[in-house]
Amino acid sequence: MTLKLAVPNKGRLHEPALDLLEDSGIGVIDRGSRQLFARTNISDLEIIFVRTQDIPNMVASGAADLGITGHDLILESESNVEELLDLEFGNAKMVVAAHKKSDIESIEEVEGKVKVATEFPNVTRKYFKENGIDVELSEVSGATEITPFIGMADLIVDLTSTGITLRTHGLEVIDTLFETSVRLIANPESLKDKKKKIEDIRRALESVIKAKPRKLVMMNVPNEKISNIKEIMPGMSGPTVSKVEGTDLLAVQAVVQSDKVYEMVNKAKAEGAKDILVIPIERILA
């Protein structure tokens, strides 16, 4: 029974999604630039390339068993899908923004009926309804940030990652609806009928995500310094220690968060550690 995984066919999520599949061992093979389908290294898993915004509905309908798409698009589509895993890329925030020359500095200051422009009408309506604000909604397909300048909107609701585009256009964030990133989603029925296969794929992707912020650190340490070294490099489950034959040294290795490596290596070196290796980790399976 073949599983179908829907993947963005282009755009900013396309390459990171393919890289994640490749790193997890799933990979994509025999795909031309115009092909809508592709095989993978897993015999019973097929890739479907479609528009990112269509993936939630495609998975909900059962046309695909799994999908890779943004959390924001899942909420906007209101599709009945299961979010299985945060893939930890495509991070952004859904925000409400107003022109800095307006009198609106927070959502609490919004009075009366306001004009709002957005590419996300469903999440926008829900947000303003929950805040008891009456809106005149304009749905746009791009360049949302220009609408306050042409009198089309008082506020906009849009995605932002750095906020640079908003600031460039003289806009300021007055509230955040939610944070978003790319997720692995599943059709609820597929999750019941093909649970083991889907879990194998989820686990493979998760193993890569867990490995990315970590390094394997290895070093040789004088026997009398081992207590100090253990304090410096505890690792995921404590360091692994073994005897280096023919010497008074101990070989120590541990998995360490990448942002801790610089400080830890310098401290270990000061304690007499030598032959220090810092090695990338491809996957971590608990």
- Evaluate if residue 104 carries a pLDDT over 90: no
pLDDT tens profile 245-281: 888 899 999 999 999 999 999 999 999 999 999 999 9
Q: Which helix (H) or strand (E) holds 158?
A: strand 155-160
pLDDT value of residue 53: 95
Is 286 part of any domain?
no
pLDDT value of residue 182: 98
Is 111 part of any domain?
yes
Is 225 part of any domain?
yes
- Evaluate if residue 236 carries a pLDDT over 70: no
pLDDT value of residue 98: 93
pLDDT value of residue 70: 97
Provide the pairing of β-strand 114-118 with 135-139. Answer: parallel
- Evaluate if residue 194 carries a pLDDT over 90: yes
pLDDT value of residue 187: 98
Of the candidates 89, 82, 115, 103, the residue with the CA atom closest to the CA atom of residue 21: 89
| pLDDT band at residue 230 using 50, 70 and 90 as cut-offs | confident
CB 91 within 8 A of CB 180: yes
Count of domains forming the chain: 3
Q: What are phi and psi of 34, to 5 degrees?
A: -105, 0
Is 102 part of any domain?
yes
b/e per residue, 124-143, with b = 16+ CB within 10 A? beebbeeeebebeeeebeee
Overall average pLDDT of the 158-183 stretch: 94
pLDDT tens profile 50-100: 999 999 999 999 999 999 999 999 999 999 999 999 999 999 999 999 998
50 and 126 housed in the same domain: no
pLDDT value of residue 89: 95
| pLDDT band at residue 31 using 50, 70 and 90 as cut-offs | low
Q: Which helix (H) or strand (E) holds 60?
A: helix 55-61
Is 186 part of any domain?
yes
- What's the CATH code of the domain at 154? 3.40.190.10
Domain extent at residue 239: 214-280
Q: Which of 194, 211, 228 delimits the end of a domain? A: 211
128 and 196 housed in the same domain: no
Q: Which of 163, 195, 211 delimits the end of a domain? A: 211
188 and 85 housed in the same domain: yes
pLDDT tens profile 115-145: 999 999 999 999 999 999 999 999 998 889 9
- Evaluate if residue 35 carries a pLDDT over 80: no
Q: How far apart are CA 14 and CA 20, in angstroms?
A: 10
59 and 192 housed in the same domain: yes
pLDDT value of residue 163: 87
99 and 167 housed in the same domain: yes
- What's the CATH code of the domain at 261? 3.30.70.120
Is 113 part of any domain?
yes
3-class DSSP assignment, residue 281? coil
- What would the two tokens of residue 196 be? 């083991």
Q: Which of 211, 227, 257 delimits the end of a domain? A: 211
137 and 241 housed in the same domain: no
CB 1 within 8 A of CB 44: yes
Average pLDDT, the chain: 92
Cα distances from 272 to residues 32, 172, 269, in angstroms, run 54, 52, 5
- Evaluate if residue 237 carries a pLDDT over 80: no
| pLDDT band at residue 32 using 50, 70 and 90 as cut-offs | low
pLDDT value of residue 114: 92
Q: How many residues does the structure list for the chain?
A: 286
144 and 202 housed in the same domain: no
CB 153 within 8 A of CB 117: yes
pLDDT value of residue 268: 92
3-class DSSP assignment, residue 276? strand
